[in-house]
Amino acid sequence: MKPGDLAKKSRLTTLELRYLPFWVVPLTATSAYEGILERISPPTPRKGTVQNEYDWLVLGRKGAEFPTRDYKVPVEGKIPFDFTKIEPQAKFLNSELDSDEAVIRAKDEVEDNQRFLLKQEVDQVTQFNTSFSVDKPTYLHAPLWFIQYEYKGKSYNAIIDGSSGNVIRADIPQVDFKMI
């Protein structure tokens, strides 16, 4: 659904390599629930549990936004930290969260995710409680390219995984559809 001439007519305006800090928090979440399934008639009460294992990714920055749910840290590219291997023009950002804060954030986000998954089971939640089993978090830095490009006078952004080359998120210009 991208314009056919995007590669030829776009131009890079900004290309910046950043090493972003992440915490990978391995945990198991077990959510006990009670609720009402209303999409069938008559509405029926239901109760049960939703249990999932996660390697939850938490960005180690407090005021920044990043599409962590769209990003899978490539484990095969993981190497021990060596500051001499960092590109000199790259920005290297340290975490503003310690491991305890990362675990708290992961628990909050996982509980929201569990509640979202629960909507497959019931329409109205009357009781919900989540317990966690958390393993040791891993701290890492991921190389990411932040790109800004211009196409037909408008600016667009993209984020590319620096170790795999995969597009994490990108703004794509709309295709002009014409009626024949």
pLDDT for res 75: 63
pLDDT for res 109: 96
Report d(CA 135, CA 28) in Å as an integer.
9
pLDDT for res 83: 73
Three-state helix/strand/coil letters over 102-141:
HHHHHHHHHHHHHHHHHCCCCCEEEEEEEEEEECCCEEEE
pLDDT for res 72: 82
pTM: 0.82
Interior CA angle at 171 toward 92 and 91, to 5°? 10
pLDDT for res 80: 72
pLDDT for res 133: 97
Give the chain's residues under pLDDT 70.
Answer: 74-78, 176-180
pLDDT for res 104: 97
pLDDT for res 7: 82
pLDDT for res 58: 95
